């Protein structure tokens, strides 16, 4: 997830924007619709006034219908149609209130009296098939009126504005993703360069910030290549120049008459030659940046090769590894790493014996001896050794660590019950 943090952040911002805009427009739609319904519902006052006048004056139905028609209101007379509308229409708004009606009665031959009645009057505004209806209901009568003037609420304008804003947000997101694509390509190129592909080019014609970064990385790459070439040339020339006097010194050593001096000088020149060979191997390991030489080999074959390189007796090395187990490595380098672990055990273990096994899918080297006096990090530094009197330049574990890093592994150490256990641990 961390590898795509920028894209995830943009997606999160997009999601928040879309949800926020949608929520705002939904509330605005509800509010606007409610205001529209409240506005058109005011027409009910006209209907109630006409009804009240009819109740008080007992005017003919023709006059009532004529008054309603003035306001584009027409009664629905067919019972089936009324039932269908009432059962299927959407109720938009409804109000109930008290209504006062008056009736004239003859008391006797001397006169009349007026009787006032108070009853409930409810009026509902309905919507059915894109038409507006008013349903008037009292204790005595019920009337369904169709309004030809009013229209249902139309959300087309709000939908148009909402769609426009959402489209702008999505288009902005598309533009941001398009701007991030060069950054994604740049990341892939950096990975290839880090894996040793020196032919990769970061140069670009873009003039924005990402283009500037790409071109600066291209300049840095050129400087790195120059430094690597200078370093390689220097080390190779240095080792070549050192090998000549060492070879001459080795030859001249054989001409010494004193066996003691001859042995001493011979040992010195052998140590110098060993040091140069280790320098050459370190230079190779640190300059290798890809896995083109990685192939699958049986672990037992690699260990056999390491034992031969270490020139130790077979009985000094115990292996408990299944012959079917294979690993993908650079054979020569990985063999050298195991050989150095065998050499280390031969120099520092109490019984000059090492056990090689696989534990938790990791290669382990066990030998008896005292626990390390310092943390492992101290020993994998170049020119560091536990015992200065030992015939070593302190490059063994440093070389092992460098080879393991090339194979995406690290060197680890455990000590338990008098056993030093070095592990070629996998990098998680």
Task: Tell me the three-class secondary structure of the chain, residue by residue.
Answer: CHHHHHHHHHHHHHHHHHHHHHHHHHHHHHHHHHHHHHHHHCCHHHHHHHHHHHHHHCCCHHHHHHHHHHCCEEECCCHHHHHHHHHHCEEEEEEEEEEEEEEEEEEECCEEEEEEEEEEEEEEEEEECCEEEEEEEECCCEEEEEECCCCCCCCHHHHHHHHHHHHHHHHHHHHHHHHHHHHHHHHHHHHHHHCCCCCCCCCCCCCCHHHHHHHHHHHHHHHHHHHHHHHHHHHHHHHHHHHHHHHHHHHHHCCCCCHHHHHHHHHHHHHHHHHHHHHHHHHHHHHCCCCCCEEEEEHHHHHHHHHHHHCCCHHHEEECCCCCCEEEEEHHHHHHHHHHHHHHHHHHCCCCCEEEEEECCEEEEEEECCCCCCCHHHHCCCCCCCCCCCCCCCCHHHHHHHHHHHCCEEEEEEEECCEEEEEEEECC
Cut 0.85: pTM above it? no
pLDDT, residue 368, reads 92
| Domain coordinates in residue numbering, the chain | 2-39+156-181, 44-147, 226-286, 291-426
**CA-based torsion, 176, 181, 182, 183: positive or negative:** positive
- pLDDT tens digit at each of 428 positions of the chain: 556 667 788 888 888 988 999 999 999 888 988 888 888 888 878 877 777 777 666 667 777 778 888 888 888 888 898 889 889 988 888 887 665 554 444 444 554 444 445 566 788 888 998 899 988 887 777 888 888 888 888 888 888 888 999 999 889 888 888 877 887 788 888 888 777 777 888 888 777 777 888 888 888 888 888 887 777 777 777 777 777 777 777 777 877 777 888 778 777 777 777 777 777 777 667 665 556 678 899 999 999 999 988 888 888 999 989 889 999 998 888 998 898 899 888 888 888 899 999 988 899 999 998 888 888 888 887 666 555 444 444 567 888 888 888 888 999 999 998 999 999 998 76
Distance between CA atoms of 311 and 314, rounded to whole angstroms? 9
CB of 203 closer than 8 Å to CB of 192: no
Phi, psi of 225 (to 5 degrees): -60, -40
pLDDT, residue 117, reads 52
**Could you tell me which residues are beta bridge partners of residue 354?**
317
291-426 has which CATH code? 3.30.565.10
pLDDT, residue 291, reads 61
**Alpha-carbon distance values, 247 to 224, 238, 274, 281, 311 (Å):** 34, 14, 13, 19, 23
């Amino acid at each position: 997830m961390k590898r795509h943090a920028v894209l995830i952040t943009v997606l999160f911002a997009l999601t928040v924007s879309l949800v926020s805009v949608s929520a705002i427009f939904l509330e605005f739609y509800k509010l606007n619709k409610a205001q529209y319904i409240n506005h058109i519902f005011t027409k009910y006052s006209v209907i109630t006034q006409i009804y009240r006048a009819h109740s008080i004056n007992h005017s003919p139905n023709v006059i009532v219908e004529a008054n309603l028609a003035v306001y584009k209101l027409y009664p629905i007379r067919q019972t089936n149609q009324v039932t269908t509308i009432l059962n299927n229409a959407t109720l938009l708004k409804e109000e109930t209130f008290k209504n006062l009606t008056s009736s004239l009665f003859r008391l006797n031959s001397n006169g009349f009296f007026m009787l006032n009645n108070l009853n409930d009057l409810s009026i509902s505004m309905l919507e059915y098939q894109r038409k507006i209806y008013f349903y008037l209901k009292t204790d005595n009568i019920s009337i369904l009126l169709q309004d030809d003037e009013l229209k249902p609420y139309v959300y087309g304008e709000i939908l148009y504005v909402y769609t426009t804003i959402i489209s702008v947000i999505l288009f902005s997101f598309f533009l941001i993703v398009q701007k991030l694509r060069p950054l994604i390509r740049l990341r892939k190129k950096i990975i290839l360069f880090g894996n040793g592909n020196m032919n990769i080019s970061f140069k670009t014609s873009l003039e924005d910030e990402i283009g500037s970064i790409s071109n600066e990385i291209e300049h840095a790459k050129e400087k790195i290549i120059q430094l690597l070439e200078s370093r390689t040339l220097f080390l190779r020339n240095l080792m070549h120049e050192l090998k000549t006097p060492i070879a001459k010194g080795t030859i001249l050593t054989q001409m010494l008459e004193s066996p003691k001096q001859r042995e001493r000088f011979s040992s010195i020149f052998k140590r110098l030659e060993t040091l140069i060979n280790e320098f050459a191997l370190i230079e190779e390991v640190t300059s290798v940046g890809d896995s083109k030489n990685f192939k699958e080999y049986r672990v037992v074959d690699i260990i056999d090769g390491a034992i031969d390189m270490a020139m130790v007796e077979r009985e000094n090395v115990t292996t408990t590894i299944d012959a079917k187990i294979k690993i993908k490595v650079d054979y020569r380098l990985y063999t050298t790493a195991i050989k150095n672990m065998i050499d280390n055990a031969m120099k520092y273990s109490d019984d000059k014996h090492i056990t090689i096994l696989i534990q938790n899918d990791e290669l382990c080297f066990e030998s008896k001896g005292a626990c390390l006096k310092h943390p492992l990090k101290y020993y994998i530094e170049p020119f560091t050794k536990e015992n200065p009197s030992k015939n070593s330049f302190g490059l063994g574990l440093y070389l092992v660590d460098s080879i393991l890093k090339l194979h995406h592994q690290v060197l680890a150490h455990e000590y338990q019950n008098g056993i030093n256990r070095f592990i070629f641990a996998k990098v998680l």
